[in-house]
Amino acid sequence: MRHFSTIFWHEVRMLFLNPSTYIAAVLFLAFMGFIFMNILDGFTRAAQDVSPAVDFFRTFFLPVWVMVPLLTMKSLAEERRSGTLETLLTAPVSTTEVVLAKFGGAYLLYVLMWLSTLGFIAVLHHFAKDPRFLDLGPLAGGYIFVAITGLLYVAVGTLASALARSQAVAAVLACAGLFALTLGLHLAGQLSFVQQESLHAARDAVDSVDVFRHLDDFTRGVVDTRQIVFYLTGTALTLILSILGVEAKILRS
């Protein structure tokens, strides 16, 4: 892994020069700003049962579907299409270093975009002077949740980019994978046949990977190590598949 840092910082520079990065950032901040304003509007109309921070993070999956594909779709797919990936791998670097550096650069920007939303809360707290808007428990839990789940989501985007030659195809594959991991698993747990007593083992399995249950736990200050292990092992497995996918594509070409 001697060349990892060099490739990583090069990837970060390229992401900052890529217009899709700024498109993702603008769309993300605009959407989260709209959500934040609607939450505030709801709190001015009637008392709410949960902290504004909890409501804020409950819509995390919507910007993720757009932001992650935009950050990752070019990382490997475009390099394969242009032939620069093969050229890069002729240098004394390994496929693992390349894939992990691409993943690390996208994940860094993913975390930075989410951290930028702290500005909404800081500005509001400064002018509103309302302690509810700076409830540190749900805020800290929500951002930790975003950071941990983001590992898996960015890894899924990296895998999609490793399997596709076109950026558009990589984006579609990433969106499909992210939908399945977030809303897909949640909806699967709501199906009537899964609620049957004879399928309690399947129901428990689906509930254990329901990302919305994980979010509720994190924002309540409950840290379940099983959830953390799920995301870390899922990330590792997805990155391994990405490495194998890149190597398989290179061997075929």
Whether the Cβ atoms of residue 210 and residue 185 lie closer than 8 Å to each other: yes
Cα separation values, 207 from 70, 196, 202, 218, Å: 29, 14, 9, 15
Lowest-pLDDT choice from 42-46, 89-93, 190-194: 190-194
Domain ranges of the chain: 4-252
Distance CA 240, CA 203 (A): 28
For the entire predicted model, the pTM comes to: 0.87
- Per-residue confidence (pLDDT) for residue 175, from 0 to 100: 93
Q: Is pLDDT of 192 > 70?
A: no
pLDDT digits (tens, 9 = 90+) for 199-251: 556 666 666 788 888 888 888 888 788 899 999 999 999 999 999 988 876 66
pLDDT digits (tens, 9 = 90+) for 38-78: 887 777 776 666 777 778 888 888 888 988 998 888 877 76
Q: Is pLDDT of 105 > 80?
A: yes
